[in-house]
Structure formats: C-alpha cells, structure tokens
Amino acid sequence: MAKVLIADDSRVFVQLLTGWLQELGLEVVATFDAVQAWVTAIRTQPNTIILDISMPGGSGIEVLKRLKSSTKTQHIPVLVISGNAGPETRDLVKRLGAAELLEKPLNCDALCALVSQLVVPPPNK
C-alpha cells in the first residue's frame, strides 16, 4: 500500500486530507510541525509528501530544502500547500524540487488526482 505523509499544523485539515486519501486506498502518516515532518520522512520513506509551508518548528520551505538535499528523501515527490502563496513562492518551491504547489482551500478532486499520479512509481529505465 502506498504511503503519504501529511505535514500540516491544522489537525482538522489533516483529518480532512486523511479521509480523502484513505478513500484512494492510501496509507496516511500525519505530522504537525516541521521537525516531525523531517524525522518522519526519513523513518517512514513515504511514496509522497504533502507539506504545508507555514508550520511550527520551522517552515515548510526549510523542510523541502532538507528533503531534496538528502539522498534518503530526495526521490520522494513533495506536494507543497499554502494558504497564501504568491507567484514568487510557487517559483521558489518548484526550483527547490517540489512537484507542485496547491493553494488552500484545496479541491478534493484536484488533490486526489495529483497525489494518485505522484504515488505511482516511475517506470524503470
């Protein structure tokens, strides 16, 4: 079963996303701050990470940098979410290696379609 790590400080939002993703047949691991997100990504090696930009314990941007600079996690697709991201933030997260940036409030269909694409392992070359 594919595993998705959600890193967001809103427990209500995490519950909502968890329900959507479990309906897709995905296992969900939740964290609520930047430190937990980093440690959990290393330990659990999820297939995809949904990462909020604004969290306690450090920013999602810093977590993204760490994820993409570590050989243990650089291969994991990261979907960044934000409640107030402008074009500069979108450009930054893409340059840092995020698969996409979605703005809150999220559309269930759009999020689920994107996550479904990201959890599929790339074909062997």
As a whole number of angstroms, the distance between CA 110 and CA 116 comes to 10
Chain segment 50-82, per-residue pLDDT in tens: 999 999 888 999 999 999 999 999 999 999 999
Residue 89 CA from chain centroid, whole number: 15
The domain ranges of the chain are 3-119
Residue 123 confidence (pLDDT) above 90 = no
Q: Give the class (CATH, top level) of 3-119.
A: alpha beta
pTM of the prediction? 0.93
